[in-house]
Amino acid sequence: MENKKYYNNFIYDWWKNIDKVILFLFITLIILGIFFSLVSTSLIASSKFGTNNYYFFLRHIIYISLGLILIIFFSVIDEKKIYIIATLFFFIFFISLLLVPIFGSEIKGSRRWLDFPFLPRFQPIEFLKPFLIIFLSLIIGSRFTSNNYFKFLLSALIVLPILILLVLQPDIGQTLLISSVWLSLIFVSGINLYFLNFLIFFSLSILSYLIFYIPKFSYIKFRISNFFDLSSKGNYQSQKATDAIVDGGFFGKGIGEGILNARVPEAHTDYVISVISEEFGILLILFILMIFLILIFKVFKKIPNEKNNSNKLILIGSILLIIFQVLIHVGVNIRLLPTTGMTLPFLSYGGSSLLSCSILAGLILNFTKR
């Protein structure tokens, strides 16, 4: 009886303090992801891999269930426990990332996944990202020293090995994503703009050298060249994705009437927004983007209420990881950016990405509570 009363009070307190608008926005994205998986993306994946029509949908439901558990877990635990858990899992997944060049599965020229016996194949960087944000926020926002440049240097010593490992895979999309969020964190922490500009220039210089002078990264040079050459056949996937958006018009062709899934290999992951637009119309895409915009607004409105600097940075880093990922995904689909493998949070098929975003959602809900 006492246990039942405890759990009832626990649920009541959680519901009372949680930001219900932010929770509703995340739930809406998850429900949309389930719907698109049922009528579109899972069918695309099944046709490509020759499985039962509902095989990937059932897998998506399993990932959604695990994701909801992660959202609830990270939204209820005490912040000090979050720090401990994040530190522990940061090192676990960093070690996993170190194993990728040795034991990773190579798919389409990139070695990004680990495939252990009795475990589903997963992408270590996806699970590392949320805990990296917490770890960096604890360092940059800490009060153990008033010297900001020392804290920035310490954070750089953590980020750089991860970026090097990502470049070696190669995974330029995740490299740019993590670099952007890290630079954003040190920017909002009060870094001198001249120093920030130097960091950006230095990073771009190294990246440019790798792309244009190291043979291993010649494919990136090829993609960038194709991006600026509209007549190139290397733009095939992006061009077909853009055509699908245009062909769908405002209201779409209807469920199952799209043809992008037959033309683009990664339609259910990297080009999912074009698939949705072709079948359901641009108006639905605008609605989805509006959900993300409201999410940004609600989270940033809550940030000034947080007194702890590290917690502020965790909030900023978590929402920026989601939003930058959305921007990269949309940018590739409408040919504003060169092709890079980036899923759309909560809507693309992919277990690692979905679980990673669920952790971020739980953190955001935790640190925006009253």
Q: Give residue 263's pLDDT band: very low, low, confident or very high (50, 70, 90).
A: low
Q: Give residue 38's pLDDT band: very low, low, confident or very high (50, 70, 90).
A: confident
Q: Could you tell me which residues come within 8 angstroms of residue 332 by beta carbon, excluding any fewer than 6 positions away?
A: 238, 241, 270, 271, 338, 339, 340, 342
Question: Position of tokens 């360092």?
Answer: 139
Q: Would the pLDDT of 235 be above 80?
A: no
Separation CA 278–CA 362 (nearest Å): 32
Residue ranges covered by each domain of the chain: 12-367
Share of residues in the chain with pLDDT > 70 (%): 82
pLDDT at residue 217 in the model: 63
Q: Would the pLDDT of 39 be above 80?
A: no
The helix or strand, by DSSP H or E, that contains position 335, with its residue range, turns out to be none
DSSP for 36-66 reads HIIIIIHHHHHHHHT--TTHHHHHHHHHHHH
Which of 61-65, 91-95, 278-282 has the least mean pLDDT? 278-282
Q: Give residue 368's pLDDT band: very low, low, confident or very high (50, 70, 90).
A: very high
Alpha carbon of residue 92 to chain centroid:
19
Give me the helices (H) in 77-147, please.
Answer: 79-103, 124-140
What number of helices (H) and strands (E) belong to the chain? 16, 2
pLDDT at residue 264 in the model: 61
Q: Could you tell me which residues come within 8 angstroms of residue 264 by beta carbon, excluding any fewer than 6 positions away?
A: 237, 240, 241, 271, 274
pLDDT at residue 22 in the model: 95
Q: Could you tell me which residues come within 8 angstroms of residue 274 by beta carbon, excluding any fewer than 6 positions away?
A: 240, 241, 242, 244, 245, 260, 264, 267, 333
Separation CA 258–CA 352 (nearest Å): 26
**Residue 111, beta-bridge partner list:** 106
Q: What is the pLDDT of residues 304-333, one digit of tens each?
A: 888 889 999 999 999 999 999 999 988 888
Q: What is the CA radius of gyration of the chain?
A: 21
Q: Using CB atoms within 10 A of its CB, is residue 87 exposed (0-12), middle (13-18) or buried (19+)? A: middle
